A = this chain, B = another copy of it.
Amino acid sequence: MLPHPVYNFSAGPAVLPDAVLRTAQNEMLDYNGTGFPVMSMSHRSDVFMSILHHADQDLRTLLDIPRNYKILFMQGGASSQFNMVVMNFANGFRRVDSVVTGNWSSVAHKQMGKLSDVEIHLAADGKAYNYLDLPPANTWDTSRHSAFVHFASNETVNGLQYGTLPEPGADMPPLVCDMSSDILSRRINVRNFGVIYAGAQKNIGPAGATVVIIREDLLERCCKRVPDVWNYQAHVGRQGMHNTPATYPIYIAGLVFRWLLAQGGVAQMETVNALKAAKLYAAIDSSGGFYINNIRPDARSKMNVVFSTPSPELDHCFVQKAGNAGLKMLQGYQSVGGMRASLYNAMPLQGVETLIGFMHDFQRRYG
């Protein structure tokens, strides 16, 4: 046993609710009196089909997903969606619009152009703001003749987030959003989106499941030349059972959805997440410049709070000492350095307050 509670600030795979892990532990060898472990169930068994059905329904409730949207629990992570959205939805189009706001949307921008002849048009680039602010949606150079416009609602590495999510404008094609790191953290209007996708390992569940929410009419664009395993239409046509899905990660995601409903749903998460982020940014901003975050306040992520001290050596020391104090995984992304505290739904307010306390102590000793 460790001397104090451990708080896991990992950006992903990330902290999961204790209650979810305890249920999974209890049900490991026998799910709900069936005599079967979830991991050993055929994906076509009634029991697993029911697990999948409830996960679908609960996610619909949580995000108020309309009936003309399909939900798929796929594999491959958000990275596999970069190319799948192009392969499936840009068929017959000349151009895809792409908004680059930081690390992940930049990777998406580069990857989307592979395997396809469609032009990936840079509709906006946060580079103009040195990635310390986000290009507002009304400045995006989009065309309604493009297949879609791709953007990320939250940049996990850079700590940026669209506080107000873009809404479809007159010159906008359907919005395709990588919501990996802030899905379920706040209320959204799904009707504003053509496609929302998210790797599970931040706010949904364990790595291995990828949630894709698709407006039904877009499925008509899916082309038979696309291999079935990457073809949304093929997956929808077989109720998500085109091939064996990642059954156990889906089961855990379902437990997380149930936990979220019991907590009061996404509205309640939004309130708590706003409070957690406000407290941590206040601690940074009131440190007299010892802790630094230069992102414009409106563009600051409530999920991934990046900050640094005056030197890389001190950053390293901070991460080490914080780890010893039970505040784990606070190092920034490999290519960025500094610190990053990820405050997903399963991070309790207490964890953030403990971190703030540690920051004060650290500044007193080293500041």
Contact = CB atoms under 8 A, between A and B. Distances in A.
Contacts of A284: none
Contact of A229 (B10, B40, B79): B79
B13 A22 contact: no
A246 B244 contact: no
Nearest to A242: B79
B208 A249 contact: yes
A98 to B, nearest CB: 15
A246 B225 CA distance: 28
Given A37-B21, A75-B75, A329-B42, A249 B246 contact: yes
Interface string A61-84: 000000000000001111110110
A115 B227 contact: yes
Contact of A13 (B40, B80, B227): B40
A128 interface: no
B248 A208 contact: yes
A41 B114 contact: no
A13 B244 contact: yes
Interface string A304-335: 00000000000000000000001011000010
A15 B209 CA distance: 21
Nearest to A35: B6
Contacts of A25: 25, 28-29
Nearest to A342: B42
Given A25-B29, A36-B328, A225-B115, A208 B246 contact: yes
A103 interface: no
Interface of A: 2, 6, 8, 10-16, 18, 21-22, 24-25, 28-29, 35-37, 39-45, 75-80, 82-83, 87, 111, 114-115, 199, 201, 206-209, 224-230, 242-249, 252, 326, 328-329, 334
23 contacts: A6-B36, A10-B41, A13-B40, A13-B41, A13-B244, A16-B39, A21-B37, A22-B28, A28-B28, A35-B326, A35-B328, A43-B207, A44-B334, A83-B230, A111-B228, A114-B224, A199-B244, A201-B244, A201-B247, A206-B248, A208-B208, A208-B209, A248-B249
- What 3 pairs across the A-B complex have the smallest Cβ distances? A208-B246, A208-B208, A25-B28
